[in-house]
Structure 1
């Protein structure tokens, strides 16, 4: 009968796969490189199969079986963590560390309002924050590096459960001297002939904005993209084009230092803000318990400039 791998051996293997370097993996696991290497060699002997292709490559190369074992090891470690999380959640819900990933078009505008609410509601919660694009945060969630995501929906989130929190409608942002600057609610047809400025590829807001205007991805071809909403605002203020801004960002002060005009959109298209966690997570009930405080923070809008 094949000997069962130890959790430590699985941690060594997953760390090596994620860091792609024995030294960095050993540092991550707080052991020496020789200890990590010995642990993986021992695992190979126990399983009686090679997990690494020890050729001339400078970086670790996993065999086909090794890649499969790494995937299963991640699942096993997540399951082991879930056991401890179940006990902790029963003893003291929403306490201790929670690793939260937030997209950059939400974090800077919501967190200043949200953090005081969470500190008051859950004083024993220790929130570790990571900002990143949706695809990066999704990978970190699947790998167990993050526990929960606060992001915009719809989004591709395989293997995750989601909880919608609130709608975040778009507002059209125009230069002050634009012919539509004093118009009422604008339609997609009003914006069809305009140079629509967008965030660079990889930001989910880019796709949401194109969808709101009923435009395809080719509509953005040849337009110089912005790296952040603040940059996008400055480009519009300079007369380079128009854009769509989430109401959350406007309420969060994205217009500071820029002079432009905001107009509502007909039918109020926008995005949905929500939470996402790994499917069948033992902490699902805890995560759902955050919905109330987050909705409370979202429901305290500031005055939107005319």
Structure 2
């Protein structure tokens, strides 16, 4: 492999380009003038091209020197970014972190979670990706994501998974639905064939099927929705009823609709929100810190309760 310029040599050249004076450039770099001059000569030797024209009165860059300086500025800036990233990464929940979140969690949890997270960990640079559970876990295993915020039950294989909080399901229907008039709904009273589901691939679909029983729910749904907001529109259009996680109700998903949410009478079905990482992750400390933070925020949110929009009072537990 041929010899490459060093960052120090490039910094000498950029400093000289800014000042066009060897003495001033050397002072700015905290080296002697001879050291700076030797560094630039070494750079010219490595690159095999003259970068600087020198005489007793003037210093100027050659055409090649101008181009090298432009590239050098980019390289030095990138090197500084790299050093900053590494420095922040050494802090608790610092530096860049790539987090995957499933669509039935992201828009309902993140708006309330991210502001206090940024306040608690100001050096954290969070990059988010929303996708289905299967694809997120594949990206975590492949190293493209650090962690994934998912819902259980789901087969996570040998990944490191920590349960964060329970998210109960509520029954959602139009106001004129007979079950919507009850204070609380018995799971066995729901006709599985009337339950509208998300399309294949969404783990919430499997959670709803499990909650209502398998009596025709897996194949009997006449139409399927691509998102929870589409699901809401379908229920409002009279196509059926559905089950929604408590998280979505707290986020106001039913606001502006004519739908009613009712709790279940006993043994409410639920999903468990969890954080997943590959077992070999070097960010185990960050995993635990983020999990602790999300769990604490969930407890605070639970104390706040569900906005009283067209719903029955939740049970005392």
TM-score range, shorter chain: 0.5 to 0.7
The size of the alignment, in residue pairs, is 221
Note closer, same or farther for the CA distance 1:115–1:139 as it changes in structure 2 (3 Å cut): same
Number of the residue aligned with 1:303: 307
Number of the residue aligned with 1:154: 153
Confirm or deny: 8 A CA contact 2:141 2:278 kept in the other structure: yes
Deviation of 1:89 (Å): 8.2
SS where residue 223 of structure 1 aligns? Answer: coil
Number of the residue aligned with 1:142: 141
Note closer, same or farther for the CA distance 1:212–1:222 as it changes in structure 2 (3 Å cut): closer
Q: Does 1:101 align with 2:100?
A: yes
Q: TM-score, normalised by structure 2?
A: 0.66
Distance 1:152 1:164 in 2: 9
Distance 2:216 2:138 in 1: 24
Distance 2:308 2:171 in 1: 13
Note closer, same or farther for the CA distance 1:193–1:216 as it changes in structure 2 (3 Å cut): closer
Number of the residue aligned with 1:133: 132
Number of the residue aligned with 1:279: 279
Unpaired runs of 5+ in structure 1? 1-83
Number of the residue aligned with 1:170: 169
Structure with bigger RCO (C-alpha 8 Å, 6+ apart): 1
Deviation of 1:88 (Å): 6.2
Distance 2:221 2:234 in 1: 15
Confirm or deny: 8 A CA contact 2:146 2:281 kept in the other structure: no
Confirm or deny: 8 A CA contact 1:196 1:220 kept in the other structure: no
Deviation of 1:279 (Å): 0.8
- Please show how residues 1-306 of structure 1 align to structure 2 within 5 Å: 91-192=90-191, 195-215=194-214, 219-265=218-264, 266-298=266-298, 299-300=300-301, 301=304, 302-305=306-309, 306=311
Deviation of 1:117 (Å): 1.2
Distance 2:129 2:252 in 1: 21
Note closer, same or farther for the CA distance 1:94–1:210 as it changes in structure 2 (3 Å cut): same
Confirm or deny: 8 A CA contact 1:142 1:159 kept in the other structure: no
> Post-superposition, which runs of at least 4 consecutive aligned residues in structure 1 deviate over 6 A?
87-90
Unpaired runs of 5+ in structure 2? 1-82, 312-317
Distance 2:281 2:216 in 1: 35
Per-residue CA deviation, residues 18-54 of structure 1 (Å, 9 max, x unaligned), is xxxxxxxxxxxxxxxxxxxxxxxxxxxxxxxxxxxxx
Per-residue CA deviation, residues 139-187 of structure 1 (Å, 9 max, x unaligned), is 1111110000011012122231101100000000011101111112212
Q: TM-score, normalised by structure 1?
A: 0.68
Note closer, same or farther for the CA distance 1:91–1:292 as it changes in structure 2 (3 Å cut): same
